[in-house]
Structure 1
Amino acid sequence: MVAQAANIIVVGTLDTKLAEFLYLRSQILETNPSINVILVDAGRSETHHEAITISQPEVYRRSGHGSSLQSLPRGEVIKTMITGAKSVIKELLDKSNVHGIVSLGGSGGTSIAAAIMRDLPLTLPKLIVSTVASGDTSSYIGETDITMMYSVVDIAGLNGVLRAVIANAAAAIAGMAQSYASRSATNQASDGSEMRKKAIGITMFGVTTPAVEVARRVLDAQGFEVYVFHATGAGGRANGVLDLTTTELADELVGGVFSAGKGRLTAAAKAGVPQIVSVGAMDMVNFGPKDTLPEKFQDRNIFEHNPSVTLVRTTPEECQELGKRVASRLRDNCTSPSVTEVWLPLKGISAIAVEGQAFYEKKADDALFDAIRRGLDGSGIAVKEVDADINDPIWAENIAHRLVKLVGVKSIS
């Protein structure tokens, strides 16, 4: 098979970084001259160069903003150009095959590039060379597969270090894009459509791994492609979600390090994706090394999971609130209650919360279960109580088979 030529979008603020972007473009082409580079200008001011494919005025026009861009404050300029660039790039994806996207930037340019890339399909190669890549990049990446490369020096004039970094980035995006193009061509059916299995997203933690492994084997045998996550993030693209492990809600409530924010438990519900939700690892709040544990938790039931992770047992009062949050987020966001269920493992919600283990506390679990029952009463969302712990193989098999049935019901309807 002849390798398909890759199409790569290069997007950025060309009014301030034209030389750097032209160098990036040249290095991509030097890596592979057959690559089609689409250079998109998302800067504040119009820049003229023959290499620019989509100009700044066109991007601005696509934003739908009426007033002069020059009169807007910096923050509004960035938001406006993000809107325009998203529109342009969406059209490029709709009209032709795009196999990768790359950008360069400081904090502003990175904000523009990341906002664009977060809306693009998972597994499409996305790369940003950034001055902020050495710090906390979670606000830029979110729950996507953006790759960030630290620029080491500021992106303000070409020098030996920056040239080398940009050359590395060019080689990386060229290689990723070419590989993506080849995979895309291979995965096409004879009629031109894409061959794809039905997908199931499962949430997992170390203390719910046995259950996930059993459920995954069952779903694999049923012909599903299974994606295991520490957080859901799969709602909009999955055919079903087995949200066994909802521990992030405990961190959000109590102040642990693994909070997923107030959007947790809402994505699949809003999308109407068949899902079964459980309460895996809600017995614990996650912190770092034991010597970093806040003073107010020192008298709590503490479990040192490993030298880097310290767990604090949730109290009955916290569990009651967690149950209310599970119920309210599902009830308030669920568009398909008939294909949404909550399963409660009455004998333990994690490997260390069963009888005889460090976090076993029936009063706390009962408070969690009771709040969920009460909160979902009359919602149309079924609550199933099982006399087993969450890692019981029979429980895991049953929950997986039930999800298969829910996915089938949704497919028929």
Structure 2
Amino acid sequence: MAGSRVAYVVGTFDTKGTELRYAAELIAGAGTPVRTVDVSTSASGGGKGADVTPAEVAAHHPDGPEAVFTGDRGTAVSAMAVAFERFLTARDDLGGVFGLGGSGGTALVAPALRALPVGVPKLVVSTVAAGDVGPYVGVSDLTMMHSVTDVAGLNRISRQVIGNAAHALAGMVARPVPPAGDRPAVALTMFGVTTPCVTEVAGRLAADHDPLVFHAVGTGGRAMEALVGDGLVDAVLDITTTEICDLIAGGVFSAGPERLDVFARTGVPYVGSCGALDMVNFGARDTAPDRYADRLFYQHNEQVTLMRTSPEECREIAEFIAAKLNACDGPVRFLLPEGGVSALDAPDAPFWDPEADRVLFETLEARVRQTADRRIVRSPHHVNDPGFAAALVAAFEEVSR
């Protein structure tokens, strides 16, 4: 039995009531307590039989229920999403959430699920789950299952899909994962071309810390910073800041202009470096913008093409980083690997460009306002040399005191 941990089954009962009640029955049959929540926005006030009515959810909107029941579907759905997020995040018995719907229903429940902490089970059966789910999932651990058929009644396909999803949610609620222990969590950012460095650093820290490694592909950086903002990370080794290259030059792995802002807000101990600041990421070679036709490219694989950053781009990247670091009161260390910033940036390697690296390093040194707690540190080593890993760990020990 799940005890006081309740599975919330959520959707628009005026149109999806049959399917939602079916899921709720299966979850309850598995021994997990269930509470059904109707987030319908129709003038009739929703379907019948849910434990929580649309009016009860709408009352959580900051402007009251009248802000939800407007008679206009677009504004009503948006407002109900706001109300549902406030409703859901205020629950003290929440064990997990099961959602179900089409594009509108998915858009309605997803923001509330994204607002829940990582680790809280959250699953949505949706007609849109076979497409681009990024806007619905964000950087959360929301699980989406494709409904295959439309969510329009129970049939031999929908019964199986919804049933599997309901049992999965019941299992997650009934069998929570044991805590990982009390070692402090440290986040590290990694790319394929900085893997030796990150692996070495994580290994050196593992005895006393819980290393959380994030793949620096845009979502990785955003996920890492979201956990920092939620207070779930004690310190950061931002070894691979390459997402900033894609922001500056229009690559596909940007983490957005807010990258690094969270460290000024939280004061979490921060060690960064220039890992993979020599490359901008595109898809297949023919997807690179025409304006870059004369640039140096490296084909990582059929779907990933890397472009070497120019000295001017390195200057812009350094100015971006410097502005963000200057907003941090510390403790901050940012390390410059003079031997090269990635596996491709080394003597006899494709992206070796001492001039571009010189501009990057000198701009950082010139623009960062250094203090006792905010320092730029040069290292003679290549980013993947064990000596650079040792320098990172030493800097980490300084900022973590």
Provide TM-score, normalisation by structure 2: 0.90
CA contact under 8 A between 1:5 and 1:35: conserved in structure 2? no
1:83–1:293 Cα change, 3 Å: closer
Q: Deviations over 1:291-321 (max 9, x none)?
A: 4444333321111122332111011111111
Q: Any residues of structure 2 matched to 1:241-280 within 5 Å, and which?
A: 241-280=236-275
The one of 53, 59, 62 aligned to 1:64 = 62
TM-aligned CA deviation for residue 346 of structure 1:
1.5
- Asked if the contact 1:5/1:178 (under 8 Å) is kept, the reply is no
Call closer, same or farther: CA 1:68–1:393 in 2, change over 3 Å: closer
Preserved CA contact (<8 Å) 2:151 2:158: yes
2-structure distance, mates of 1:280, 1:42: 46
Of 344, 363, 368, the residue aligned with 1:371 is 363
The verdict on how the C-alpha distance between 1:78 and 1:381 changes in structure 2, with shifts beyond 3 A counting, is farther
Q: Is the 8 A contact 1:276 1:341 kept in 2?
A: yes
**Contact 2:67/2:76, CA 8 A, preserved across alignment:** no
Whole-angstrom distance in 2 between the partners of 1:142 and 1:3: 28
> By how many angstroms is 1:204 displaced?
0.1
- Which residue of the partner structure matches residue 381 of structure 1? 374
Instruction: Supply the distance in 1 between the matched residues of 2:40 and 2:351 (Cα, whole angstroms).
Output: 54
State the match for 1:53 in structure 2: 51
Corresponding residue for 2:344? 352
> 1:378 and 1:209, CA in 2 relative to 1: closer, same or farther beyond 3 A?
closer
Alpha-carbon separation, structure 1, partners of 2:369 and 2:351: 28
State the shift of 1:47 in Å: 3.1
Are the aligned partners of 1:82 and 1:116 in contact in 2 as well (CA < 8 Å)?
yes
**Aligned residue identity for 2:304:** V
- Give 1:170-181 correspondences, 5 Å limit: 170-180=166-176
| 1:211 alignment partner in structure 2 | 197
CA–CA distance in structure 2, aligned partners of residues 249 and 3 of structure 1 = 44
Q: Decide which of 210, 224, 231 is 2:209's aligned counterpart.
A: 224
Aligned 8 A contact 2:67 2:79 in 1 = no
Question: Alpha-carbon deviations, 1:122-168, whole Å to 9, x = none?
Answer: 12221111111111111111111111111112212222222221111
C-alpha separation in 2, matches of 1:198 and 1:53 = 40
Contact 2:272-2:335 at 8 Å conserved across structures: yes
Alignment correspondent of 1:411: none
Paired position in structure 2 for 1:105: 101
For the aligned residues, what is the CA RMSD?
Answer: 2.1
Q: Could you say what secondary structure the match of 2:69 adopts?
A: helix
Give the partner amino acid of 1:364.
Answer: A
- Percent of counterpart pairs with the same letter? 38
Q: Specify which of 129, 132, 145 is matched with residue 128 of structure 2.
A: 132
| Cross-structure match for 1:39 | 36
> CA shift at 1:281, angstroms?
0.6
Match of 1:330 in 2: 325
Higher mean C-alpha deviation, range 72-81 or range 134-143: 72-81
Gapped regions of structure 1 (runs ≥ 5) = 188-193, 409-413
CA contact (8 A) 1:218 1:401 kept: no
Q: Deviations over 1:323-378 (max 9, x none)?
A: 1111123334x3xx221221111221101101221101111111112222232125
For residue 392 of structure 1, the aligned residue among 373, 382, 385 is 385
TM-score where L is the length of structure 1: 0.88
User: For 1:176-229, what per-residue CA distance to the aligned partner results, in whole angstroms no more than 9, with x for missing partners?
Assistant: 22222xx3xx54xxxxxx9532100100001000110111011112x1101100
Summarize deviations over 1:227-285 as a string: whole Å, max 9, x none: 10013323222000100101111112212221111122222332221111111111011
Alignment of 1:65-104 (within 5 A): 65-66=63-64, 67=66, 69-71=68-70, 73-92=72-91, 95-96=92-93, 98-104=94-100
SS of aligned partner of 1:54: coil
State the shift of 1:100 in Å.
1.7
